[in-house]
């Protein structure tokens, strides 16, 4: 039986952090052998908020290299850059024309980001989930592994599919495949180091709020030393009055690859003075091998480019065939 298809992506906006790693990439790596995977660097999404044009290409390569450094294996997975395949923007336009405006206006992430942009909200920021739907649908993806914050966007994608199949599909012959989100409980929502009630995010103005995958050991030590804690002794999961405690124990659990039961027992009598050095040492040890691999990959730009070229060619074949299927269903004349 053919393997199920997986598609996911990350925006090249600044350094990837532990939320991106634990909520997304680590899970992609863990299950990649079971699936036929497509992982893209979604650079067209990165321009929906103000950005630095001089840094876009370098950030795009950085994310692609991080995919490989974190363990994405080309034997099971295809890596490519979204903007290298024009079908993404073309399908997004077609989907735009069947997506009701109010579906987009109620997206939580749009509302949050729009507040931050003030007067300066682009049409692209509102339309961002439709482009994301195009990313997923061009590959006939069965599963979309993401962190909790992207769930609503995958649900919107499902609504778009149902609408298109209903309006343009023939009986028993849907136009588009209905994808499912794949969200693992642990790591689905990594919180900020400076406020355990806020998600760890690339756009938080404070560097101290997140650990980036390429942070050197001194930076990791400094951020954990300064991170927010509480005055209580004894550490525990799942106490709603202690969000920082839950978050830091979860980070330790995932980075040390231990079970929740084991970590709860190990840390129940610890104070922060004992736990923080343990978490620091664990985070540094977990990130060190991927940082070394990343440096190796960045030293050989030709190799990285060849991977992205191959990825583009393979991804384009799928994308173009799905796009043709959609255009045909929507009634367009054949391209001559
Ligand atoms: P982005 O670039 O914001 O985040 C990339 C992935 O990291 C996850 N993530 C987190 N997980 C846990 N805790 C956190 N604090 C945290 N912060 C981020 C996100 O859930 C995501 O899985 N729109 C997407 C990119 C995208 C995409 C796609 C994803 C574009 N097209 C198609 C899947 C399929 C985004 O902005 O993710």
List pLDDT tens digits, range 60-99.
999 999 999 999 999 999 999 999 999 999 999 999 999 9
Q: Which atom of ligand 1 is nearest to the CA of 129?
A: 23
50/75: higher pLDDT? 75
Ligand 1 atom at minimal distance to the Cα of residue 141:
34
Q: How far apart are CA 30 and CA 168, in angstroms?
A: 37
Q: How far apart are CA 49 and CA 169, in angstroms?
A: 35
Query: Rounded to the nearest whole angstrom, what is the distance from the C-alpha of residue 102 to the centroid of ligand 1?
Result: 22
So what's the pLDDT on residue 82? 98
Tokens of 106: 């109620």
- The angle formed by the CA atoms of residues 96, 102 and 108, to the nearest 5 degrees, is 100
Indicate if 170 belongs to the active site: no
Which atom number of ligand 1 is nearest to the Cα of residue 192?
15
pLDDT average, residue stretch 274-293: 98
pLDDT of residue 150: 97
**What's the pLDDT at 317?**
96
* pLDDT at site 113: 87
Q: Whose CA is nearest to atom 33 of ligand 1?
A: 8
- Tell how far the Cα of 24 is from the centroid of ligand 1, in angstroms: 7
Question: Which of 24, 156, 25 is closest to 98 using CA atoms?
Answer: 156
Residue 144: CB atoms within 10 A of its CB come to 25
Quote the ligand 1 centre to 138 CA distance (angstroms).
18
Cβ atoms of 12 and 43 within 8 Å: the answer is yes
Model pLDDT, residue 249: 97
4-13 mean pLDDT? 97
- Answer whether residue 336 shows pLDDT above 80: no
Cβ-based neighbours of 145, under 8 Å, separated by 6 or more? 6, 8, 24, 27, 28, 31, 181, 182, 183, 184
DSSP state, residue 205: S
Residue 307 above 80 pLDDT?
A: yes
- Helix, strand, coil percentages, rounded to 5, for the chain: 60, 10, 35
Which pair of tokens denotes residue 264? 């709860």
Whether 132 shows a pLDDT value over 90: the answer reads yes
Instruction: Choose which residue among 7, 23, 64 to substitute to test ligand 1 binding: the one with the highest number of ligand atoms within 8 A of its C-beta.
Output: 23
Q: pLDDT-derived band of residue 334, with 50, 70 and 90 as boundaries? A: confident
**What phi and psi, each to the nearest 5 degrees, are found at residue 212?**
-85, 150
113: annotated active-site residue: yes
Dihedral angle, C-alpha 195, 198, 203, 205, nearest 10 °: -20
Question: Can 228 be counted among the known catalytic residues?
Answer: no
Q: Which amino acid residue places its CA nearest to atom 7 of ligand 1? A: 20
CA dist 55 and 57 (Å) reads: 6
Distance 117 CA to ligand 1 centre (A): 19
Q: What predicted TM-score, i.e. pTM, was given to this entire model?
A: 0.96
In the predicted model, what is the mean pLDDT of the chain? 96
Q: Read off the pLDDT of each residue in 261-265 and give the average, rounded to a whole number.
A: 97
For a mutational test of ligand 1's pocket, the pick from 24, 60, 62, i.e. the residue with the most ligand atoms closer than 8 A to its C-beta, is 24
Distance CA 241, CA 334 (A): 61
Whether the per-residue pLDDT at 5 is higher than 90: the answer is: yes
For the stretch 154-164, pLDDT in tens is 999 999 999 99
Q: Is the pLDDT of residue 119 over 80?
A: no
Long-range contacts of 85-90 (CB under 8 A, 24+ apart): 85/138, 85/312, 85/315, 85/316, 85/319, 87/134, 87/138, 87/316, 87/319, 87/320, 87/322, 87/323, 88/44, 88/131, 88/134, 88/135, 88/138, 88/319, 89/44, 89/131, 89/134, 90/323
Confidence of residue 292 (pLDDT cuts 50, 70, 90): very high
Average pLDDT over residues 234-244: 96
Q: Which atom of ligand 1 is nearest to the CA of 147?
A: 20
pLDDT of the residue at 126: 96
Given this model, what pLDDT does residue 15 score?
A: 86
CA distances from 74 to 32, 140, 213, 307, 312 (A): 10, 19, 21, 9, 13
Strand order in the sheet with 5-10: 77-81, 36-41, 5-10, 143-145, 180-182
Return d(Cα 225, Cα 42) in angstroms, integer. Answer: 33
Q: Report the percent of the chain where pLDDT is more than 70.
A: 100
Q: Pull the structure tokens for residue 285.
A: 């040890």
Ligand 1: residues with CB < 6 A are: 7-11, 19-20, 23-24, 42, 45, 132, 135-136, 144, 146-147, 149-150, 153, 188-190, 199-200
pLDDT confidence of residue 239: 96
Q: What is the mean pLDDT of residues 142-165?
A: 97
On the question of pLDDT at 172 being above 90, the answer is no
Range 201-222 average pLDDT: 96
Q: Tell me the best of 10, 126, 142 to mutate to test the pocket of ligand 1, counting ligand atoms within 8 Å of each CB and taking the most.
A: 10
- Ligand 1 centre distance from Cα of residue 120 (Å): 23
Catalytic residue among 177, 202, 293, 314: 202
């Amino acid at each position: 039986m053919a393997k199920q298809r997986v598609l996911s992506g990350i925006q090249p906006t600044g350094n990837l952090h532990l939320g991106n790693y634990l909520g997304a990439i680590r899970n992609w790596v863990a299950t990649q052998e079971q699936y036929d995977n497509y992982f893209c660097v979604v650079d067209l999404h990165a321009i929906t908020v103000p950005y630095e044009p001089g840094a876009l290409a370098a950030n795009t390569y950085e994310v692609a290299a991080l995919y490989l450094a974190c363990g994405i294996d080309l034997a099971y997975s295809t890596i490519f850059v979204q903007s290298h395949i024009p079908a993404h923007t073309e399908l997004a336009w077609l989907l735009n024309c069947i997506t009701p405006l109010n579906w987009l206006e109620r997206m939580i992430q749009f509302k949050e980001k729009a507040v931050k942009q003030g007067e300066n909200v682009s049409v692209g920021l509102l339309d961002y989930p439709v482009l994301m739907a195009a990313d997923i649908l061009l590959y006939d993806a069965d599963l979309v592994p993401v962190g909790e914050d992207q769930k609503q966007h995958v649900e919107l994608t499902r609504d778009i599919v149902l609408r298109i199949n209903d309006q343009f599909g023939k009986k028993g012959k849907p136009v588009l495949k209905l994808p499912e989100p794949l969200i693992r409980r642990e790591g689905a929502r990594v919180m900020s180091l400076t406020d355990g009630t806020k998600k760890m995010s690339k756009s938080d103005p404070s560097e101290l709020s997140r650990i980036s995958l390429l942070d050197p050991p001194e930076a990791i030590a400094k951020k954990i030393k300064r991170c927010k804690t509480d005055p209580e002794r004894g550490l525990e999961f799942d106490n709603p009055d202690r969000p920082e405690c839950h978050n830091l124990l979860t980070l330790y659990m995932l980075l040390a690859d231990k079970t929740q039961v084991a970590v709860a027992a190990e840390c129940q009598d610890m104070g922060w003075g004992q736990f923080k050095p343990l978490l620091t040492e664990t985070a540094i040890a977990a990130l060190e091998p991927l940082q070394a691999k990343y440096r190796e990959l960045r030293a050989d730009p030709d190799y990285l480019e060849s991977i992205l070229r191959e990825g583009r060619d393979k991804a384009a074949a799928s994308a173009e065939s799905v796009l043709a299927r959609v255009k045909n269903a929507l009634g367009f004349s054949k391209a001559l």
